[in-house]
Amino acid sequence: MNNPAAQFEDIRLLEEKLKTTQLPAELQQKANAMVERLTRLAQSAEYSQEYDLVARYLDWIVSIPWAKKSEDNLSLTNAKKILDANHYGLENIKERILEYISVLSLKKSANQKAKAPSFLFLGLVGTGKTTMAYSVAQALGRQFGRIPMGGMGDALQLRGRAKTYPDAEPGQIMKVLRRTGTRNPVILLDEIDRITDEAKADIMGVLVELLDPEQNNSFLDHFIDYPFDLSEVLFITTANNTAGIATAVIDRMEIIELPTYTDEQKIIIGKNYLLPRALTASGLTNSDLEISENVWSSITRPLGFDAGMRTLERTINAICRKVAKSKIEGKVAKVQITDANVKLYLPSW
């Protein structure tokens, strides 16, 4: 059984949203006609699957940011401060982001629309690709959305499924836009080299359109069934290598390689970036833990070989957790890690 009173209240709320949402003219007319259809369906005495489908569709189109944008922070000083605070080195990426902000600033001064480029952050595991994408959004003052591409097995996950199907729903692009609430977020397409082989051709075809500023100004999601302009979205993709990426997709992106770090650089990152975060995450302060300089080489290579940045981060987090436990047990007020006791605090594998 349907509930006419609740349905009419839902329709009233949808009408209010339609009045305050800036939709494209053609889509506005379509939405108004659908509201009238909803009203007729609500007057029916029986449950209508069509009512649910139409109501869900209207809810989606009024929730997508057709015209809402976030204001970019175009301060080069602010951007450099954020990028330097979050990442050591990686000067090529930082310089490219500062160039992009400069172009945005000039375009804004000339009252011109700036199409966003598409970047591919290419590097080994643990080189900071994903966290750099977060930092770019933070530097620009934009909302951030992430779509994990690893293991994706159907292009419809990006493109959406048409309303004629029982399991119809928008694709991940529209879902991210709804979550971020702006039409110009930073969207991270993470691990595009790890798409399943069965769906690779279809998904790469969608990526060609998504990542090309000349094509993505009229992206069509099958569920929404109306073109959306993605040309102001800053797409950042990540990959370990280009072997699994179609040449046509690579041609649409600027490739920026993230180099592996030397041991000396890892020690600097460990001391200045990872340790302060680990202390905060563990509820400790600088006065609770002191690590001797000559111990850092053991922390950087706890397994005797280059184990990567993620292992370094896990090692430092594990040390801080052991210190936190010792403090709570009342064994020590402050821990100083030296060559003599470092093995007691290194995690065991």
For 188-199, write each residue's pLDDT tens digit: 999 999 999 899
- Order across the sheet with 118-122: list the strands: 144-148, 186-190, 234-239, 118-122, 254-257
What DSSP state is assigned to residue 145?
Answer: E
Q: Is 269 exposed, middle or buried (0-12, 13-18, 19+ CB in 10 A)?
A: buried
Q: What is the pLDDT of residues 300-325, one digit of tens each?
A: 877 666 657 788 888 999 999 999 99
Domain 263-345 has CATH 1.20.120.1770: no
Own/partner long-range contacts of 85-91 (Cβ < 8 Å, ≥24 apart): 86/131, 86/132, 86/134, 86/135, 86/138, 86/273, 87/128, 87/131, 87/132, 87/135, 87/273, 88/265, 88/268, 88/269, 88/272, 88/273, 89/259, 89/261, 89/265, 90/128, 90/132, 90/258
Selecting from 3.40.367.20, 3.30.70.260, 3.40.50.300, 3.30.565.10, what CATH number does the domain 76-257 have? 3.40.50.300
CA–CA separation, 28 and 318 (whole Å)? 55
Domain ranges in the chain are 4-63, 76-257, 263-345
Query: Which position has the token pair 């950087």?
Result: 300
Radius of gyration of the chain (CA): 25
The predicted structure's pLDDT at residue 1? 45
The bridge status of strand 335-337 relative to strand 186-190 is unpaired
Alpha helices, DSSP H, located in 153-295: 156-159, 172-180, 200-211, 247-250, 263-269, 275-282
Please list the ranges in the chain whose pLDDT falls under 50: 1
The predicted structure's pLDDT at residue 304? 63
> What number of other Cβ atoms are within 10 A of residue 157's Cβ?
19
